[in-house]
Structure 1
């Protein structure tokens, strides 16, 4: 079972920052998960929320702010004063940090409240620029975004994120027409039957977000492939 550091090692450092990604590397997480949005000037930046209100000392939608404007805000102090001055990273900066590491990189494509049609192209361009295309799994709750991405790169590894419990899950997956590499369901929807059927179809199962050691052990015993967690040391 792979330990996938959710937004980096977000239990120990401010989420989706270079500090969190460095911490995940230090803690020997098997993989790093991060969220990508486009700034006003079309640069892929790392942030989960549509706004910077929760994670910084600034306010506003990311799609209304340029990279230069975003870089003026502090994304560390709200987590801990020792991270004061931590800025929002670009995807380029993040891949520069982790591209030479033997880690899987889970890139979640974030949309809403706007749907930029060039997000997928710009993310793919950076992934190929850094030569990590074979180490990346692309995930999204917006499955149309993943369809756009595979139209550009049919070889991309696709992970379908689910926050609902679908009836006939695997019929849905088949009807998407996508070559699905993995599914990423909310952990409390996962069953042993789901895992078995996924594996019969050569689909990995990576679940989110588990931060309890007993739960982690239980899901490992069920046979999941990846555990998305804020705490990469959860089983150590």
Structure 2
């Protein structure tokens, strides 16, 4: 079973930070998951929330702030805001990336960054674009035939089945409380990479490992790496 660092290594470092990305690489995670938001001046930055309050105790909205404004507001902290371009430079060639996109207006800015490093078909193999919204994934598919897509499920674990033909998915992500054997069976028959989020307890990870899940997303990649059997990683 592979280990995906959630927002870098969110349990031990600031989420979606350079320090978190480096920590995931250091401990030997197989993939890192990051979240994308778009600034007022169309720059892709790493952030889970649409505002700065939880991370920086600022009330600014990311979509109404320029990158420079966000950098000034987060500057001086342990984890200044990171651009997707910086994250790709930090990770590409060192660790697989799972880039979660939340809004459709992010498609263009994200592709602009990724096409700076992905020149050939095989260059896309270390990057997955994921989303809860299949329409966002459809926009990515329409713009880039070689891109790898993952559909994330929060409630109904079977949604990916009706979208597979249009999206040509490479992977499917399940919430740990909403997976079932039929969904897993179909995913395997379709040749999809399967992962479950967010798993922080070693005993839960081991149960999922026994169900032939390909990977888990965790806030504590080092802890899970130490507790899972090496033969299945």
For normalisation by structure 1, the TM-score amounts to 0.88
Paired residues of 1:96 and 1:130 also in contact (CA < 8 A)? no
Per the alignment, residue 200 of structure 2 pairs with 211
SS of match in other structure, 2:55? coil
Per the alignment, residue 113 of structure 2 pairs with 126
Paired residues of 2:6 and 2:219 also in contact (CA < 8 A)? yes
**92-101 or 34-43, which moves further after superposition?**
92-101
SS of match in other structure, 1:188? coil
CA distance in 2, matches of 1:100, 1:205: 22
Question: 1:58-117: per-residue Cα shift (whole Å, max 9, x none)?
Answer: 2121100110111123389xxxxxxx342000001111111131x210000122xxx52x
**122-131 or 22-31, which moves further after superposition?**
122-131
1:17-36 equivalence runs, <5 A:
17-36=17-36
CA distance in 2, matches of 1:66, 1:173: 35
Paired residues of 1:34 and 1:106 also in contact (CA < 8 A)? yes
CA distance in 2, matches of 1:31, 1:188: 22
**92-101 or 41-50, which moves further after superposition?**
92-101
Residue 213 of structure 2 corresponds to residue 220 of structure 1: no
Paired residues of 2:151 and 2:160 also in contact (CA < 8 A)? no
SS of match in other structure, 2:141? helix
SS of match in other structure, 2:135? helix
Per the alignment, residue 136 of structure 2 pairs with 145
Deviation (angstroms), 1:127: 1.3
Aligned to 2:179, which of 174, 183, 190?
Answer: 190
CA distance in 2, matches of 1:49, 1:31: 21
For normalisation by structure 2, the TM-score amounts to 0.89
SS of match in other structure, 1:216? helix
Paired residues of 2:3 and 2:31 also in contact (CA < 8 A)? yes
Per the alignment, residue 6 of structure 2 pairs with 6
Per the alignment, residue 87 of structure 2 pairs with 94
CA distance in 2, matches of 1:195, 1:146: 21
CA distance in 1, matches of 2:179, 2:17: 29
Cα 1:183–1:75, aligned 2, differ >3 Å: closer, same or farther? farther
Deviation (angstroms), 1:171: 4.0
Q: Which runs of 5+ in 1 are unaligned?
A: 77-83
**Which structure has the highest helix share of the two?**
2
SS of match in other structure, 1:71? helix
Residue 93 of structure 2 corresponds to residue 107 of structure 1: no
Q: How many residues align?
A: 221
CA distance in 2, matches of 1:93, 1:17: 10
Paired residues of 2:29 and 2:225 also in contact (CA < 8 A)? no
CA distance in 2, matches of 1:192, 1:199: 10
Give the root-mean-square deviation of aligned CA atoms: 1.7
